[in-house]
Structure 1
Amino acid sequence: MVKKPLVDYQTFLIGRKPALYGNTGSPTFMKNLHLFEHYPCVTENIDIFDGEDFYLFFQNEELKETFLSKLRDVKPRSPEFHRLLGVTLGYPPLAAQFFAECHRLEEEKHIDEYERLFKQKVFFYYSGIRCNGHVNDLVENSVWLWERYYIEDEPFKVGMIEDNIVRLYEVKPYDFDELERVKQRKLDLITKKETTL
C-alpha cells in the first residue's frame, strides 16, 4: 500500500512544523480547527487578503512571542511580512526570501522582472511543507528541508511548470545526482522558453 504524503497540519500536530497558517476559507483547515485550539495563536495583522479570518498557530508560546516581536517592525501584507511568515512556517530562508521578492516585484508593478523571476520558480513538497524557490537555490533549499523534516519513506517532490501544468519529480533525500538532473531540466525549460519567444 502506498503511503499518503503528510499535509501541513499533520506535520504540525506531530511537532515537526513550527507553525501552522490557515483561514476560514479553507474547508480542510476549518474541519480540523478543533485540533489546534490548545496551541498558542495569533489572529491580528496576519491576513494576506480580505474576506477571511486568518489564524497562525505555534508549537509553543516562545515561538509566538518571537514572531510577535518581529511583526511589530513589519508592515502588513508587505514583502517583508511574507518573508517573515515563510520563515515562521518553517520554510527555507532562501525560499521565503524568493517569495518575498516575487511579491515585491508584483506589488511595485515591475511586471517584466516579476515574469522573469516567476519563470525560474520551482516548488517543494515534503513532510507537509509546500513552498517555492529559485531554481538556482534548488540544492540548498532541498538540503535545508531534508535536514529539518526528514521522515523515512516520506516522498520529496520538486515541481515545475511544464506546458502550463505543474509536473512533479520525486527525489530521494540526499540523491544529489537526481537533484541536479531535475535542476537541469528546469534550466533547459527556461532556455527553451526564452529561445521560442
Structure 2
Amino acid sequence: MKKPLLDYEVFLMGLKPAIYQSANNVTFQKTVHLYRHYPCVTEGIHLHDEADFFLFFQTEQMKEDFLRKLATVKRLSPEFHELIGVTIGYPPLAAKYFAECRRLKEVEKRMDDYQELFKHKVSFIYSGIRCNGHVNDLVENSVWLWERYYIKDEPFKIGIIEGDVMKHYEVKPYDFDGLERVKQRKLELITKEQTRV
C-alpha cells in the first residue's frame, strides 16, 4: 500500500498553498533548507512559546493576503485557528468545525456542547492534508479535497474513532457510495453511544 504524501512534499509540488511548521518538528528541522526561497511569516502565528513557528507561502501575494486577515483576528482565538486552517489548505468547513470545537472548549467552557460536537468528528488524510471535520460535512469536505489536491493513486483515508481506537477507511476519489458507507458507520457509532448513556 502506498504511503500518503506528507504536507511538505505536497507544498513543494506547488499544490498546497502554505505550510505551517514548528522549529521543534523533527521533519521540519531536516527539510528547512528546502523552504529558503518561499515567502514566510514568523510573527503573531505561534501556538505556544516553547518553539518558533513558521508559515511559508507559495507566493508573496498569498503572504500579504494572510497578513491582512491576521491583523483582524486575536491570536489563539477560534477565528485565528480557522484562518490558519484555511490558509494552509484545509477545507473551509473543516477549519470552521475545528474553530467551533475550540470556541466551545476553551473560550465558552461549554464542555457538554463540546463533547457533543466532538463525537461527530471524522478525520481526513489526503495529499499532505490531515484535518478533522463534522460527519455531516464528510461529502463536502471530501469533494473539496479531491478537487484541489487530486494526485493519481494517492490514498484518501477517513478516520473515525471506534471504541478507543482510530480506524481508517480508504475511499477512492469520487466514490460517493464509499463515502456514504463511512458516514453511516460513524452515525451508527454515535447512535450506539447515545443509547448507552
TM-score (norm 1): 0.98
What is residue 18 of structure 1 aligned with on the other side? Answer: 17
Aligned to 2:120: 120
Amino acid at match of 2:51: E
Corresponding residue pairs, total:
196
3-state SS of 1:132 partner: strand
Q: Where do residues 1-197 of structure 1 align in structure 2 (5 Å cutoff)?
A: 2-107=1-106, 108-197=108-197
The question of whether the paired residues in 1 share the 8 Å contact of 2:2 and 2:155 is answered with no
Q: 1: distance between equivalents of 2:131 and 2:173?
A: 17
Report the alpha carbon displacement of residue 27 of structure 1 after superposing the two structures with TM: 0.7
The runs of 4+ residues in structure 1 deviating greater than 2 Å are: none
Q: Deviations over 1:35-70 (max 9, x none)?
A: 111100000010112211000000010000000000
Q: TM-score, normalised by structure 2?
A: 0.98
RMSD of equivalent CA atoms: 0.7
Letter of the 1:70 partner, please give it. Answer: K
Q: What SS does the aligned partner of 2:109 have? A: coil
Aligned partner of residue 124 in structure 1, secondary structure: strand
**Which moved further from structure 2: 45-54 or 152-161?**
45-54
In structure 2, distance between residues paired with 1:117 and 1:183: 15
After TM superposition, give the deviation of residue 3 of structure 1 in Å. 2.7
Cα distance in 2 for partners of 1:116, 1:166 equals 18
Partners in 1 of 2:3 and 2:127 — Cα distance?
10
| Structure 1: gaps of 5 or more residues | none
Return the letter of the residue paired with 1:145. L
Structure 2: gaps spanning 5 or more residues? none
Hey, what's the Cα distance between the residues in 2 that align with 1:109 and 1:57?
33
The whole-number CA distance in structure 2 between the counterparts of 1:29 and 1:160 is 28
- Aligned AA (1:95): A
**After superposition, what is the alpha-carbon deviation per residue over 1:127-157, rounded to whole angstroms, capped at 9, x for unaligned?**
0000000000000000000000001100000
Please state whether the residue corresponding to 2:94 is helix, strand or coil.
helix
